[in-house]
Chain A
C-alpha cells in the first residue's frame, strides 16, 4: 500500500487539488464569488487589451478613411436629413419634458434628474463557457465605481464588476451571476431577470401572471442599481408547467454585445 502512494504521489496530489477546487466552488455558490487577485489580473489584461484594440482600431480607421471615402458624401446627406428630423423630435421631447416636470411639481412628485454618464470604449470581450464579461477603457479616475450601470441608447448592457483607475470589467446581463430587477412594460408585473449564458430567464414569476412572447422587460429601479424604465430584454419563450407554481420565462437582451463598440456608464 505505501508503495502505491509512493508510485502515484503526483496523481494523488492532483486529485487532492481537484477536490480542493470543487470545495472552493461549492463554498462560493452559497457565499458569493471571491474577489482575490482581481486587481493585478485586470491591470495586466487591461493594459494589453488597450494596446491591441488601439492598434486594431488605428488600422481599421485608416482603411475606412481611404477606402470608404466615396460613401462619405452620401452618408453626409443622410446624416443631415437625420439631424433635421432629430432636432424637431428633440424640440417636441423638450416640450413634453417641461410639461411633465410642471405636472410633477403640481402633484408634489420628486424632481427627475438625469444621471451623469461617462462614454466608454469596449477594449475586450470575454466569453468563457461559464461567464460573459467585457472590458472597457475607463475606470475609477473617470468616476466609475463598482455596480454602476452600463447602458447604450438601446438599453441595459450590464454592471461594473471590477474597477481600476483606467480600466473596468463589465458583467453582462447574460452572465449567470447577474441579477436585475425588472418589470413587464405592458402590465407592470415585476420579476428578477437572471443571466443564463446566451440569454436571460425571468425568475419567480407566478403561474397566473400574464407574460407573453414579445413583451418588453424594463428596469424597475427596485435594485437601486439601474434607473427605472430602461429597456432590458424581450421575452422569447414562456413555459408553463402544471406541476410548478412558477412559470419559466426566457428573454433575449435588447443590446447585442457581439458588435458593441461603445457604451455609457451611469456614474452615481
Chain B
C-alpha cells in the first residue's frame, strides 16, 4: 500500500477506536481495531511491510495515549512481522482459521504488556487481567479482524486498490 494511505488510516485509527468503539464496549472492553487492521496488512503485504506498519501504528498509538513512547511500536511491530510471516503460509486468506490466529496474537499482545508492566512497576494483577479483560478483548478483536479481512478481500475492495496502484505505476 502507498505510504499516504497508511498515514490516513493510522491517523483515523485513534479517534475511530476511541469514539466509535467506546459506546459499543462490553464490560469496558472494546475490540483492538489497530491490531485487527495490522493483521490484515501483515497478511496481505508480507513480514517487512507488516513490521514497518506495526511499528509506525504502535508509535502513533503511544503518542496518542499515555503509554511509554515506543512500547506499542515494539509489540505491534512484532505482531506485524509475525502476521507477515504467517501470510506466507496461509493459503486461504478468507479462512475462518484467521479468527484463531488473531485471537492468539491479541492474547499474546495483552499478556506481554501485562508482564512488562509487572516487571517495570510491580503489583500488576497479570492473571486477573488475562482472564478478566484480555480474553474478551482478544475474542472481539479476532471477530472484528476477520470481518475487516472479509470486507477488504471481498469482490470489490482489494481488486480496486490493486487496479489503482497498477494504473499509477503505468
Which stretch of A80-88, A169-177, A223-231 is in the interface?
A169-177
Q: Are B14 and A196 in contact (CB under 8 A)?
A: no
Q: Are B19 and A127 in contact (CB under 8 A)?
A: no
Given A14-B77, A196-B125, verify A130-B72 contact (CB < 8 Å): yes
Q: Which of A110-141 contact B (CB under 8 A)?
A: 123-135
Which stretch of A42-50, A64-72, A94-102 is in the interface?
A42-50
B18-43 near A? 1/0 per residue, CB < 8 Å = 11101101011110100000000000
What's the Cα separation between A47 and B70 when bound, in Å?
24
**In the complex, which of the residues A33, A49, A203 contacts B68, with contact meaning CB atoms closer than 8 Å?**
A33
Q: Are B77 and A18 in contact (CB under 8 A)?
A: yes
Given A21-B77, A124-B22, A198-B128, verify A133-B66 contact (CB < 8 Å): yes
A123-165 near B? 1/0 per residue, CB < 8 Å = 1111111111111000000000000000000000000010000
Q: Are A196 and B124 in contact (CB under 8 A)?
A: yes
A29-55 near B? 1/0 per residue, CB < 8 Å = 100011011100110111111001100
Expressed in whole angstroms, the minimum distance between the Cβ of B124 and any Cβ of chain A is 5
What's the Cα separation between A122 and B108 when bound, in Å?
30
Is A24 in the interface zone, CB < 8 Å from B?
A: yes
Q: Are B129 and A197 in contact (CB under 8 A)?
A: yes
A226-268 near B? 1/0 per residue, CB < 8 Å = 0000000000000000000000101000001110000000000
Is B52 in the interface zone, CB < 8 Å from A?
A: yes
What's the Cα separation between A48 and B22 when bound, in Å?
14
Q: Are A258 and B25 in contact (CB under 8 A)?
A: yes
B111-131 near A? 1/0 per residue, CB < 8 Å = 011101100110111001100
Is B51 in the interface zone, CB < 8 Å from A?
A: yes
**In the complex, which of the residues A33, A56, A123 contacts B66, with contact meaning CB atoms closer than 8 Å?**
A33
Given A128-B61, A198-B132, verify A52-B52 contact (CB < 8 Å): no
Q: Are B68 and A29 in contact (CB under 8 A)?
A: yes
**In the complex, which of the residues A10, A21, A171, A199 contacts B73, with contact meaning CB atoms closer than 8 Å?**
A21
Q: Which residues of A contact B153 (CB under 8 A)?
A: none
The tally of residues in A whose CB lies under 8 Å from a CB in B reads 59
Q: Which residues of B contact A24 (CB under 8 A)?
A: 69-70
Is A28 in the interface zone, CB < 8 Å from B?
A: yes
Q: Are B19 and A53 in contact (CB under 8 A)?
A: yes
Is A62 in the interface zone, CB < 8 Å from B?
A: no
Is B11 in the interface zone, CB < 8 Å from A?
A: yes
**In the complex, which of the residues B19, B47, B120, B123 contacts A56, with contact meaning CB atoms closer than 8 Å?**
B19
Given A45-B14, A258-B25, verify A29-B120 contact (CB < 8 Å): yes
Expressed in whole angstroms, the minimum distance between the Cβ of A28 and any Cβ of chain B is 4
Q: Are B81 and A14 in contact (CB under 8 A)?
A: yes
Specify the chain A residue showing the minimal Cβ separation from B134. Answer: A129
Residues of chain A touching chain B, judged by Cβ–Cβ distance below 8 Å, are 10-11, 14, 17-18, 21-22, 24-25, 28-29, 33-34, 36-38, 41-42, 44-49, 52-53, 56, 123-135, 161, 169, 171, 175-178, 194, 196-199, 201, 203, 248, 250, 256-258
Q: A17-B77, A21-B59 are in contact. List 13 more A-B contacts (CB 8 A).
A: A17-B51, A21-B77, A25-B68, A25-B70, A29-B120, A56-B23, A125-B19, A132-B66, A171-B66, A196-B121, A203-B123, A257-B28, A258-B25
Residues of chain B touching chain A, judged by Cβ–Cβ distance below 8 Å, are 11-12, 14-20, 22-23, 25, 27-30, 32, 47-48, 51-52, 55, 59-61, 63-75, 77-78, 81, 109-110, 112-114, 116-117, 120-121, 123-125, 128-129, 132-134, 137
Q: Return 25 A-B CB contacts under 8 Å, by A number.
A: A17-B51, A17-B55, A17-B77, A21-B59, A21-B71, A24-B69, A24-B70, A28-B70, A44-B14, A44-B15, A45-B14, A48-B19, A125-B25, A128-B61, A128-B67, A129-B109, A129-B114, A130-B113, A131-B66, A132-B66, A134-B18, A171-B66, A176-B67, A198-B125, A199-B125
